[in-house]
Chains A and B, each alone.
Chain A
Amino acid sequence: MARSITARRKTINTAIAWSIGLLIFFPILWTILTSFKSEADAIAFPPKFLFFDWTLENYAVVQERSDYTRYLWNSIIIAGLSTLIGVIIAIPAAWSMAFVPSRHTKDILLWMLSTKMLPAVGVLYPMYLIFIKLGLLDTRTGLVMVLMLINLPIIVWMLYTYFKEIPGEILEAARMDGASLPKEIIYVLTPMAVPGIASTLLLNFILAWNEAFWTLNLTAAKAAPLTAFIASYSSPEGLFYAKLSAASTMAIAPILIMGWFSQKQLVRGLTFGAVK
């Protein structure tokens, strides 16, 4: 008896949860479907869900007209390098805070976090000016630097929380065996922390990929990543739903897949350990 009630409740839960899940996912699904339609089918009334002539034409057109690969490449370089450099700078810092904590460790961690709270628009002009003076405007180098800096606090925090979980005794044992500090970090700590470091790389790559304040304001044609590429579709002339959808699908597909793998790290990375 009790079992049948739970089974029925489970069925109801499943039905409600799937409906809501699909409703929330629908705009993405709709975008992906529309990207395979002809422009006429894309705006057809009543809307066509699955029964239309599937075509890959939009993808070809988007690539041809706007040189999609260049923006993609910019996105990969900017998000990838900024994350990688951030992690390289953050590993030693997180190591020292996790294993040789001092009175000030907590203050430093909180201070780093506070730099993340600085509203970007508050320093827009100074950054603009610095970029012009240093010749960094519309360069990938400049964006790599800025995105590295805005994500560095999150990177340090995530690595710190992962390192904290590694038992200090293992590091001490390595030290006793005569391992020097760099060796200790490279050969003992890093292998144990690989899952944590990988998660940190993944989440911060996603955050950098989707960043849309500095990437819109500090680039023009040369260094613009996908965020800016999509924004160029906001002008009303020549707007085509199917092509917008194809461009959008290409811009979000890689990151959606990565995002699904980083769900758990998201909580750790964006709540700074305040929710466990």
Chain B
Amino acid sequence: MATKASRTAARMMMAPAVIVLLGWMLVPLIMTLWFSFRNYLPLRGGDLGFAGFDNYVRFITSSAFWPAVLATLTIVLGTLIITVVLGVLLALLLDQPMWGQGIVRILVIAPFFVMPTVSGLVWKNMFLDSVNGLFAHAARAIGVTPVEWIIEAPFFSIILITSWTWLPFATLILLTAIQSLDSEQLDAAEMDGAPKIKRFWYIIVPHMSRAITVVILIQTIFLLSVFAEIFVTTAGAFGSKTLTYLIYQRVLESQNIGLGSAGGVYAIILANIVAVFLMRIVGKNLDA
């Protein structure tokens, strides 16, 4: 069908997109790799030469590393569990017949469109603040001492904010998956006398499992690099410093480029491990 000329043309039309993305990927990546092997301190003497694997070793042996790994895992897993469990329930609910379904959908999806700096600051000040926040008001109303959430429960605070942002996403994706389910299959099961629980467990859950996997993978990639929500709330204090935030501080605050770059390489490797699984699912779908 395609002639040789159109193939050449097709390649040329693809070229701009491929070339800019290749440049975007390779240039900073190679620079990060290069810096990660240098002893590079711009404010304290500049490039002090080859460092071997020193930066890599120092990054993972520093006292801040394991707490950062733990903080990252807590935020990613906490948000994933909340958004996936509530997302499944909410998607099942929204799939039921009701009045004003369109409006409810709009209400539910809205938080996803709120920019991270706004959601971070609104939650921090207007809800979690121990003096004037709504949570504090509610606590006082029932006679409990208000909690300074950001300081005393930084993970709860951050997970609350990220879950609020990502629950709409999970719900929307899972709802789309449920709605694509063939209702005849469910009707047939119902006629065969399969009880509701069984219908849910043997038909709906397997049908949703791929959508759930996709939600988990995509959210993991975004959550691993959560930044603004932490930047405007705890700024990495109170033990809430994630890997992303740790690297950010090494690079921009303490200006230790070699060390920060080694951390960056770890972050890239970590993200790629997740990405490989996502790509496999997406790739399979391309063949279908």
Interface residues of chain A, those whose CB is within 8 Å of chain B, are 6, 9-10, 13-14, 16-18, 20-22, 24-25, 27-28, 30-31, 34, 42-43, 45-47, 89-90, 92-93, 95-97, 99-100, 102, 106, 108-110, 112-115, 117-130, 149, 152-153, 156, 168, 172, 181, 206, 209-210, 212-213, 216-217, 226-228, 230-231, 233-234, 239, 241, 244-245, 248, 251-252, 255-256, 258-260, 263, 266-267, 270-276
Distance in angstroms from A113 CB to nearest chain B CB is 6
- 26 CB-based A-B contacts, threshold 8 Å: A17-B94, A17-B101, A24-B110, A30-B134, A42-B132, A93-B17, A100-B2, A109-B286, A110-B279, A117-B278, A122-B271, A123-B28, A124-B251, A124-B264, A149-B20, A152-B17, A227-B115, A230-B121, A241-B132, A245-B126, A255-B113, A266-B109, A267-B173, A274-B278, A275-B176, A276-B180
Central interface residue in A93, A108, A113, by most chain B CB within 10 Å: A93
Is A17 within 8 A of B121, CB to CB?
no
Given contacts A24-B168, A125-B261, A227-B115, contact A18 B104 (CB under 8 A): yes
Knowing A21-B104, A114-B279, the reply to whether A123 touches B109 (Cβ < 8 A) is no
A116–B141 Cα gap in the complex (Å)? Answer: 47
Say yes or no: B17 contacts A123, CB within 8 Å.
Answer: no
Q: Are A123 and B20 in contact (CB under 8 A)?
A: no
B residues neighboring A (CB under 8 Å): 1-2, 6-7, 9-11, 13-14, 16-18, 20-21, 24-25, 27-29, 31-32, 35, 90, 93-94, 96-101, 103-127, 131-132, 134, 137, 140-141, 164, 167-169, 172-173, 176-177, 180, 210-211, 214, 218, 221, 224-225, 227-228, 231-233, 244, 247-248, 251-252, 257, 260-261, 264-265, 267-268, 270-272, 274-275, 278-279, 281-283, 285-287
Q: Which residue of A lies closest to B101 (CB)?
A: A17
In whole Å, how far is A175's beta carbon from the nearest beta carbon of chain B? Answer: 9
**Taking A24-B167, A149-B24, A266-B172 as contacts, is the C-beta distance between A241 and B126 under 8 angstroms?**
yes
CA distance in complex: A112, B211 (Å): 22
- SS of B interface (majority): helix
Give every chain B residue within 8 A of A181 (Cβ-Cβ): 6, 9
The docked-state distance in angstroms from the alpha carbon of A12 to that of B33 is 58
Question: Which of these, A21, A244, A267, contacts B103 with CB under 8 Å?
Answer: A21
The answer to whether B210 touches A27 (Cβ under 8 A) is no
Looking at the complex, which one of B134, B271, B287 makes contact with A117 (CB distance below 8 Å)? B271
B118 & A251 in contact (Cβ 8 Å cutoff): yes
- Give Cα A24–Cα B163 distance, bound, in whole angstroms: 11
Query: Contact at B117–A212, with CB atoms within 8 Å?
Result: yes
For B112, B115, B120, B233, the residue with the greatest tally of chain A CB atoms inside 10 Å of its CB is B115
Contact residues in A for B104 (Cβ distance below 8 Å)? 17-18, 20-21
Q: Known: A112-B21, A125-B251. Contact between A273 and B122, CB under 8 A?
A: no
Specify which of B31, B107, B224 is in contact with A24 (CB 8 Å cutoff). B107
Query: Are B132 and A14 in contact, CB atoms less than 8 angstroms apart?
Result: no
A20 with B115: in contact, given A109-B286, A270-B218, A271-B173 (CB under 8 Å)?
no
Q: Do the beta carbons of B177 and A96 come within 8 Å of each other?
A: no
A227 touches B107 (CB 8 A): no
Q: Name, among B11, B132, B221, B281, the residue most crowded by chain A CB atoms within 10 Å (CB to CB).
A: B132
> Which residues of B have CB within 8 Å of A113?
279, 282
Pairwise interchain contact A121-B232, C-beta atoms closer than 8 A: no
B29 near A123: Cβ-Cβ < 8 Å: yes
Nearest-neighbour CB distance to chain A for B27, whole angstroms, equals: 7
